[in-house]
Amino acid sequence: MLADQTQTELITLTPAAVEAVRDLLQKRNLEGYALRVFVSGGGCSGFQYGMALEGNIREQDLTAEFDGVKVVVDEISIDYLRGATVDYIESVMGSGFKIENPNAVASCGCGSSFRTKDSSASEGGCNCH
């Protein structure tokens, strides 16, 4: 974990992720929007991560703010994401968001699919595309 990150009990955004979200919001002129981070069923390991720029924050959503960037997580996804870190990586192979999740016991090579100790997904091979 990076020393200059802001940590909450919900989720952490690295400074690079904060800057990437801020840039997206500014480029798309989305004032008042937040980054929604969620988990859905599917993927090759049982669950998959999702992210969206969200303008409709619900009363039951859990929220955190990082240097002016708001993050929202729904009440079901937080059980799978509590303590996770969202980072933004730039490399020769490409750039994008990456989630480090302490709740995942296995993940697929694609980096967007994972399994928890309580999930019943198979431990078979990865079918990432």
Q: Which residues of the chain fall below pLDDT 70?
A: 1-9, 43-45, 106-129
Tokens matching residue 89: 């990586």
Q: What is the pLDDT of residue 103?
A: 81
- C-alpha distance from residue 34 to each of 15, 24, 30, 39, 60 (Å): 16, 11, 9, 16, 15
Largest CA distance in the chain: 43
CA pair distance 100, 29, nearest whole angstrom: 29
Q: What is the pLDDT of residue 55?
A: 94
E strand or H helix at 129 = none
CA pair distance 14, 6, nearest whole angstrom: 7
CA pair distance 18, 70, nearest whole angstrom: 9
Q: What is the pLDDT of residue 118?
A: 62
Query: Which residues touch 85 (CB under 8 Å, ≥6 apart)?
Result: 1, 5, 11, 12, 13, 14, 99, 100, 101
Q: Which domains does the chain have, with CATH numbers?
A: 11-116 (2.60.300.12)
Q: What is the pLDDT of residue 10?
A: 82
Q: What is the pLDDT of residue 107?
A: 60
Q: What's the pTM value of the predicted model, to 2 decimals?
A: 0.75
Tell me phi and psi for residue 17, to 5 degrees.
-70, -40
Q: What is the pLDDT of residue 116?
A: 59
Helix (H, G, I), strand (E, B) or coil at 24: helix
Q: What is the pLDDT of residue 51?
A: 95
